[in-house]
Structure 1
Amino acid sequence: MKFFTVRSLCPILLFTLVVGQPEVSDDQQSNESNQQIVESLDSFSWKLYSQLAKAHMSENLFYSPMSISMAFSMVSLGATSETRQQIFKGLELNTTVIKEEAIYSGFKHLLQTPNQLNSDLELNIANALFVEEKLNLLQKFKDEIKAFYKSELISVNFQQLEEAKNLINSYVEEKTNGLIEKLLSELSVDTVMVLINTLYFKGSWTNAFNVNQTRKEDFHVDENTIEKVPMMKREGVYPVAFFDDLECTVVKVPYKGNASAIFIIPNKGKLQDVEKAFQEGSLSERMKQLKPKKINLWIPKLSLSKKLNLKTELTPIGFGHLFSKSADLSKISNDVKLEVSQANHQAVIIMNEEGTVAAAATSIGVVVTSIEIVPEVKANKPFILIIQLDFQAIPLFIGRINNPNN
């Protein structure tokens, strides 16, 4: 879940650099352009992971790079050329390779992703702009944000802060099926616009875990800390690889409907080394080495929520200009000068025997038993979790689980 609040400053006369309005066309939604968007999203995902891993070394992490990228790209529609280019750079979108028109068409195509999924997988993406009723948005901005992002425009009286906050929180709660109830705790009296992006995912394991096999097991948080956590167990065939050079195991656990949860399980004490290796871009190549193999898989049940102040987290990785007073958002409105006053993100995950809800249905798999020795893959120490759509390897959520009980 991602939101921006935009605060009005003293009204001044502004010179607006007018650039051509991006046009929506089928040609610009080519497979090549879409692939470039996905590659940029993947690159941004790990750049942000690197920053978060350093800033929150002993904490759980969970966030949606797709939600964050989409929200910032929406903001870029209201930015003039310099500020817009800084946003693109922060999002790892190289405009020398992909044109601005293709960027916006690419995000429009991402919004259509849920239509490509079958009924076994639920993915809902929604965008909304809550706008002060007295603020005059430029027509071009309104047209573009509707055309590319299907954003609702909702008029709000921000002079009634409590009512405005409750309206926005109710919208978020509805779009996330109740997972996020109170996103906004406060609003500034100067707020004139709140931009919301929500992403709700619900997937059922292709082969459900048997609840009767779930039991309390040791989870090695660090050398000195062991927690008892509920561990789910299932023997089955999964794509897996044991990387001796990285000292980690990677296993892919599929959901029904062309999505997967990828567990990157470092050997004890090797989390930071593994994080560095995957931040340097080796994940996609490593995933090609996964082979189906019968294993005893142990993964913890999860229920956690993570909030991030993105002004703090993103400033070191290229977004400082957007969060400064020199940012130019005059393509939103030329009535007042605008600045981004808040940028917050919240993500929630519930993972159990049936599947995963992030913001389950049950199937039972029957396999032939044998007396062969089956390798054990056990996520009983800090690990990295990725939830992705398989057909384009689109990262929906990324997390690092240091302690399932926190």
Structure 2
Amino acid sequence: MLLRVIVILLGWTALVASDRVYVHPFYLLTYNQSTCDELKKVDAETTKEQTLTPVPIQAKTSPLDEVALKDQLVSYAQTLDAEDKKRSTSVGMLLNLVGFRMYKMLREKATPANGAILLSPVGLFGTLASFYLGSEDPTATKLQAFMGAPEKDQRCTSRLDGQKVLSALKAVQGLLLAQEKKGSSSLLLTTVVGLFTSPNLHLKQSFVQGLAPFASITYSRSLDLTTNPDLAGEKIDRFIKAVTGWPKNTQLTGISLDTTLLFTTYMHFQGAIKGISQLAKPQVFWVNNTTRTSVPMLSGMGIFLYWNDTKNNFSVTQVPFNENAFLLLIKPHNDNLEKIENIAFGQDFSHWMKNLSPRKIHLTLPKLVQESTYDMQSLLSNTKLPGLLGDEAKLSKISDTNLKVGKVMNTVLFELKESQGGQEDLFQSSEVAPLEVKLDSPFLFAVYEKKSRAFYFLSHVTNPLNGV
């Protein structure tokens, strides 16, 4: 595994160097000496840190305004300086490594009947970084290594600065939206963190406030988690659905009786491609060689970046949401999806991305509403650090009292819609026939941002009408 990580890092460095910008993987994200000196002074003092008790879950809460939260990210992205952007690239590299690794784990666990996968490397990495912010050694050291930035030595300056990491994640999310008009809803990215605690648990203010860069909004709410865990899960689901308005279908179940904290991350993406409209009638989608279904389809024509890998039998079409954000559509030309996934979502991704070139394309693809939910503790059980967020985790920077993390959930809601402006024919006078690209059988997709080089979503679509 270590060798594979080194190979990926070298490949990433080569990709960055090819753009005449060198970004060191770690130094922009670690403590500097002055901060280390300040931390020593704080450790030497015996001050009691301020805490807060989450309000009851039934307390009145205003509905989420995603457009306003998006506008805040757009404004923030406009303030980023050169160092902020370099830091976002460093975090982009690390979260891609975590995302590719987790994607491989999910693919190995996927059942043949439903090989669908949808995950957010940004959400997964943000969750890990949040726990890093709340941890002490040895958990902090293990989390840092798992996040792809192992310590060079025992000095403070080789440690990740959790605030820098989470601020860089805010930059990563802002860059995706940086080219969007304020007040527009054509492209949305919203991250919600929920801290659901037992009534008597006190959370440290510095931890809750420290999550602000990663999360568009953080809800800290208390409820009885132990008397009836299934009812507690229902209350949490109702709360999230009420404040967000999202069409959430998955249910929170399996809460253990000794739980005092549930950490939940919800990421919502909504994107519309300019010039792409919905076809009047549903079209055939082949779930497999013998099973087909009718699904709503989107269609349109444009100049998109494209590459056909004849050696590995797949093609890639890069479709822009804006100047920074892109949808990468990966169409296999045979049934060897596992091999294609290794190439597309692994160490070779930089190779095929450099081969993309402009083509006139008539694109047809399913309209998508996909939802997935994963328990990070369950995912980590398949690694060499199965207890990383479990009972033995040292999380005193989250709370000093009776902390028992029951679940660490990551939920993604992904929506791909038609453009509100309708379909545009930009090539009426062109004599060149467009290349037909039709995604009417299982395919892969990713959402990518070119400034940070971060993959926001990775997905294997088996049936557009089903979730994950």
- 2:440 counterpart SS class: coil
Which deviations, in whole Å up to 9, do the C-alpha atoms of 1:213-250 show, x marking residues without a partner? x542242x334444444443323221111111221100
- Within the candidate set 305, 327, 344, 1:278 is matched to 344
**Judging changes above 3 Å, is the alpha-carbon distance between structure 1 residues 285 and 238 closer, same or farther for their aligned structure 2 residues?**
same
**Equivalent residue for 2:284?**
217
- In the alignment, is residue 398 of structure 1 matched against residue 458 of structure 2? yes
Once the two structures are TM-superposed, the CA of residue 365 in structure 1 deviates from its matched residue by: 1.8
Instruction: State how far apart, in whole Å, the 2-side matches of 1:71 and 1:312 are.
Output: 14
Matches within 5 A, 1:209-288: 209-212=277-280, 215-219=282-286, 221-256=287-322, 258-288=324-354
**Equivalent residue for 1:52?**
106
**Judging changes above 3 Å, is the alpha-carbon distance between structure 1 residues 394 and 322 closer, same or farther for their aligned structure 2 residues?**
same
Once the two structures are TM-superposed, the CA of residue 38 in structure 1 deviates from its matched residue by: 0.6
**Equivalent residue for 1:16?**
none
Q: Residue type matched to 1:116 in 2?
A: A
- In the alignment, is residue 194 of structure 1 matched against residue 262 of structure 2? yes
- 2:396 counterpart SS class: coil
- Within the candidate set 442, 446, 449, 1:382 is matched to 442
Greater length-normalized contact order (CA 8 Å, ≥ 6 residues apart):
1
Once the two structures are TM-superposed, the CA of residue 373 in structure 1 deviates from its matched residue by: 3.7
Once the two structures are TM-superposed, the CA of residue 56 in structure 1 deviates from its matched residue by: 0.6
- Within the candidate set 155, 159, 178, 2:246 is matched to 178
Once the two structures are TM-superposed, the CA of residue 140 in structure 1 deviates from its matched residue by: 4.8
Once the two structures are TM-superposed, the CA of residue 164 in structure 1 deviates from its matched residue by: 5.6
Q: Residue type matched to 2:102 in 1?
A: L
**Equivalent residue for 1:116?**
178
Once the two structures are TM-superposed, the CA of residue 252 in structure 1 deviates from its matched residue by: 1.1
Once the two structures are TM-superposed, the CA of residue 260 in structure 1 deviates from its matched residue by: 1.8
Once the two structures are TM-superposed, the CA of residue 344 in structure 1 deviates from its matched residue by: 2.8
**Equivalent residue for 1:104?**
163
Matches within 5 A, 1:3-402: 30-58=84-112, 59-96=115-152, 99-112=158-171, 113-114=173-174, 116-119=178-181, 120=184, 121-138=187-204, 140-142=206-208, 144-145=210-211, 152=218, 154-158=220-224, 165=233, 168-174=236-242, 176-180=244-248, 183-185=251-253, 187-212=255-280, 215-219=282-286, 221-256=287-322, 258-336=324-402, 338-354=403-419, 361-369=420-428, 370-402=430-462
Instruction: State how far apart, in whole Å, the 1-side matches of 2:302 and 2:376 are.
Output: 40
Which deviations, in whole Å up to 9, do the C-alpha atoms of 1:68-99 show, x marking residues without a partner? 21122112222222212222233323444995
The answer to whether the 8 Å contact 2:191/2:216 transfers is: no
Structure 2 residue ranges without an equivalent (≥5) = 1-38, 44-79
**Equivalent residue for 2:65?**
none
**Judging changes above 3 Å, is the alpha-carbon distance between structure 1 residues 209 and 137 closer, same or farther for their aligned structure 2 residues?**
closer
- 1:281 counterpart SS class: coil
Q: With structure 1 as the length reference, what TM-score do the two structures score? A: 0.80
**Structure with greater strand share of residues:** 1
RMSD over equivalenced CA pairs, Å: 3.3
Q: Residue type matched to 1:195 in 2?
A: F
Q: Residue type matched to 1:118 in 2?
A: E
- 1:50 counterpart SS class: helix
Once the two structures are TM-superposed, the CA of residue 149 in structure 1 deviates from its matched residue by: 5.7
Which deviations, in whole Å up to 9, do the C-alpha atoms of 1:336-359 show, x marking residues without a partner? 3x34332333323333433xxxxx
Q: Residue type matched to 1:168 in 2?
A: I
Instruction: State how far apart, in whole Å, the 2-side matches of 1:295 and 1:155 are.
Output: 49
**Judging changes above 3 Å, is the alpha-carbon distance between structure 1 residues 326 and 30 closer, same or farther for their aligned structure 2 residues?**
same
The answer to whether the 8 Å contact 1:127/1:198 transfers is: yes
Instruction: State how far apart, in whole Å, the 2-side matches of 1:99 and 1:151 are.
Output: 30
The answer to whether the 8 Å contact 1:183/1:346 transfers is: no
Instruction: State how far apart, in whole Å, the 2-side matches of 1:136 and 1:298 are.
Output: 52
- 2:381 counterpart SS class: helix
Deviates more, 1:242-251 or 1:154-163: 154-163
Instruction: State how far apart, in whole Å, the 2-side matches of 1:51 and 1:186 are.
Output: 21
Which deviations, in whole Å up to 9, do the C-alpha atoms of 1:119-167 show, x marking residues without a partner? 3432222334233342233455455445776764635242676886565
Which deviations, in whole Å up to 9, do the C-alpha atoms of 1:10-56 show, x marking residues without a partner? xxxxxxxxx7679xxx9996443322111011111111111111111
Q: Residue type matched to 1:33 in 2?
A: R
**Judging changes above 3 Å, is the alpha-carbon distance between structure 1 residues 371 and 184 closer, same or farther for their aligned structure 2 residues?**
same
Instruction: State how far apart, in whole Å, the 2-side matches of 1:365 and 1:204 are.
Output: 14
The answer to whether the 8 Å contact 2:263/2:409 transfers is: no
Which deviations, in whole Å up to 9, do the C-alpha atoms of 1:269-316 show, x marking residues without a partner? 221111122343121332122111112222122233323333332322
Deviates more, 1:192-201 or 1:393-402: 192-201
The answer to whether the 8 Å contact 1:264/1:384 transfers is: yes
- 2:347 counterpart SS class: helix
The answer to whether the 8 Å contact 2:446/2:459 transfers is: yes
Structure 1 residue ranges without an equivalent (≥5) = 1-18, 355-360
- 1:392 counterpart SS class: coil
Q: Residue type matched to 2:267 in 1?
A: L
Deviates more, 1:49-58 or 1:101-110: 101-110
Instruction: State how far apart, in whole Å, the 2-side matches of 1:362 and 1:190 are.
Output: 52
- 2:382 counterpart SS class: helix
Give the paired residue count: 376
**Judging changes above 3 Å, is the alpha-carbon distance between structure 1 residues 268 and 174 closer, same or farther for their aligned structure 2 residues?**
same
Q: Residue type matched to 1:400 in 2?
A: H
Q: Residue type matched to 1:136 in 2?
A: H
Once the two structures are TM-superposed, the CA of residue 61 in structure 1 deviates from its matched residue by: 1.0
The answer to whether the 8 Å contact 1:83/1:321 transfers is: no
Instruction: State how far apart, in whole Å, the 1-side matches of 2:276 and 2:345 are.
Output: 31
**Judging changes above 3 Å, is the alpha-carbon distance between structure 1 residues 95 and 173 closer, same or farther for their aligned structure 2 residues?**
farther
